[in-house]
A and B are shown apart, each in its own frame.
Chain A
């Protein structure tokens, strides 16, 4: 009986809940499509794991994402930030409890259809110098006909002639539409021997948000002496629910200097040899 008591005490010590001081939110992300001229309500639940009550202040922010680094950028301008108002200012969340924050989205009657990338933010002022915030992503769409437009701004080799090394092709395109896109496609490299290399674009299905530029440089590997001559790069880019396709072609010359010098040397040697032969014949 005594050992059983010890066991229970030890078990309690091992599994006793740790003192967690944190606050949390849910949902993590939500999507809303609303018609112009309507009011839609979204909610954010904040839970308090602290031992004492905490004050939470709701607010709105807008974000975008850098597709090259996957870094989220906050505080970007968005007209839709002004459409959303938290119903409450600051709410006291008692220890161990949760509270729901309401946000009303009032879409103006003349709002343009399209996407807005927002964040419902819960701020906990821990002290005068430190505060913690949790953000719930809100993908907000104004209903109506949307515009899917992707413009290729740059698609070119870095040099027109490569005297060896690894040629590089630069690609930049921008989402000029009103909704995010998931661009996908291929970049095919062809030499005089046929298809040399194929790059698959965006295999992770990354989103390209409106007004954001995609930049990528493609390094062409393993070109050999036998690939000498004109090299073609064909871009096939697909995007959007409308199934849009962009095809672009560029070319450059791959002239490895070792081979070029060899050919030139052989030519000069041949010419000299021919000349010597002709001189000797002429002398006879």
Chain B
């Protein structure tokens, strides 16, 4: 009778322990992994256990030990913030048609970004080199405005998220990249319109096809 009772109790405990627990987060031992959907960059909280401290902010997320003031990072730690970052481009080409000395030609590209990141996003524009045809190229705009009759090429950016660091007017596109739009929180279908503007003077070699590749890169802010 007694053994039956203990068998029953053991069965119940076993069932209770083995019952699946629904959770967004998971953590495993050894080379452990933490899924951390709710991590916030401004959360400076930490959990400690003896000498081991786990800083729970993505980017700051690491296990450390402190001995005599020296900080040691512990290996085998992984954490991630899931979420979503989406990018769409309205066009696959930059089509200026035929350039003439008497006018400015334009081509428009609309970039749409969505993210559920609490830190927002940054959108960067870069190029693989000047607008060119072989050794001939069209100079980047330097005075903030593409003017008809002058050899100038640049882009103007319109967006509610237009980066504060981006000067007004037509800007040159540079290979290292320039942040053109930024948000500090979640956005849904946030649009940035890029108007590429080109003008030439009589010295620009005619009869050629000028092109280059531009890249729009979106990331969440750290």
Closest CB in chain A relative to B90 CB, distance in Å: 9
**A30 near B78: Cβ-Cβ < 8 Å:** yes
**B117 near A32: Cβ-Cβ < 8 Å:** no
**B53 near A28: Cβ-Cβ < 8 Å:** no
**B215 near A30: Cβ-Cβ < 8 Å:** no
Closest CB in chain A relative to B173 CB, distance in Å: 12
Cβ contact of A133, chosen from B41, B58, B73, B215, cutoff 8 A: B215
A75 within 8 A of B: yes
Closest CB in chain B relative to A219 CB, distance in Å: 20
A264 within 8 A of B: no
Can you list, as one digit per residue, whether each of A1-33 has a CB less than 8 Å from chain B (1) or not (0)? Answer: 000000000000000000011111111111111
Closest CB in chain B relative to A169 CB, distance in Å: 24
Cβ contact of B117, chosen from A28, A119, A127, cutoff 8 A: A28
B99 within 8 A of A: no
**A127 near B81: Cβ-Cβ < 8 Å:** no
Can you list, as one digit per residue, whether each of B201-222 has a CB less than 8 Å from chain A (1) or not (0)? Answer: 0000000000111111111111
Q: Which B residues are CB-close (under 8 A) to A25?
A: 84-85
A152 to B211, CA, bound (A): 47
A129 within 8 A of B: yes
**B73 near A134: Cβ-Cβ < 8 Å:** no
Cβ contact of A180, chosen from B59, B64, B83, B92, cutoff 8 A: B59
Q: In the complex, which residue of chain A has the Cβ closest to the Cβ of B88?
A: A22
B136 within 8 A of A: no
Cβ contact of B219, chosen from A31, A119, A123, A146, cutoff 8 A: A119
B30 within 8 A of A: no
Cβ contact of B62, chosen from A26, A31, A74, cutoff 8 A: A31
Can you list, as one digit per residue, whether each of B42-77 has a CB less than 8 Å from chain A (1) or not (0)? Answer: 101000000001010011111110100111111111
Of the candidate stretches B11-19, B149-157, B176-184, the one touching chain A is B176-184
**B216 near A132: Cβ-Cβ < 8 Å:** yes
Of the candidate stretches A136-144, A154-162, A187-195, A253-261, the one touching chain B is A136-144
B187 within 8 A of A: no
**B213 near A130: Cβ-Cβ < 8 Å:** yes
**B89 near A130: Cβ-Cβ < 8 Å:** yes
A214 to B74, CA, bound (A): 28
Closest CB in chain B relative to A38 CB, distance in Å: 7
**A33 near B75: Cβ-Cβ < 8 Å:** yes
Cβ contact of A207, chosen from B59, B93, B164, B176, cutoff 8 A: B59
Can you list, as one digit per residue, whether each of B155-193 has a CB less than 8 Å from chain A (1) or not (0)? Answer: 000000001110000000000110100100000000000
Q: Which A residues are CB-close (under 8 A) to B85?
A: 24-26, 28, 134, 136
B interface majority secondary structure: strand
Contact flag A28-B79 (CB < 8 Å), given A145-B70, A205-B44: no
Q: In the complex, which residue of chain A has the Cβ closest to the Cβ of B163?
A: A71
A168 within 8 A of B: no
A113 within 8 A of B: yes
A227 within 8 A of B: no
Q: Which A residues are CB-close (under 8 A) to B71?
A: 145-146, 148, 240-242
B148 within 8 A of A: no
**B79 near A130: Cβ-Cβ < 8 Å:** no
**A34 near B76: Cβ-Cβ < 8 Å:** yes
**B165 near A69: Cβ-Cβ < 8 Å:** yes
Contact flag A129-B93 (CB < 8 Å), given A21-B88, A28-B115, A70-B182: yes
Cβ contact of A30, chosen from B79, B164, B182, B213, cutoff 8 A: B79
**A28 near B83: Cβ-Cβ < 8 Å:** yes
**Interface set of B (CB-CB < 8 Å, partner A):** 41-42, 44, 53, 55, 58-64, 66, 69-89, 91-94, 109, 111-112, 114-115, 117, 122, 124, 126, 163-165, 176-177, 179, 182, 211-222
A-B interface, 3 closest residue pairs, ranked by CB to CB distance from nearest? A127-B92, A143-B75, A22-B88
What would be 18 A-B contacts, judged by CB atoms less than 8 Å apart? A22-B88, A22-B112, A24-B86, A26-B82, A27-B82, A31-B77, A32-B77, A33-B78, A42-B78, A70-B221, A72-B179, A74-B217, A133-B218, A134-B85, A134-B86, A135-B218, A135-B219, A242-B66
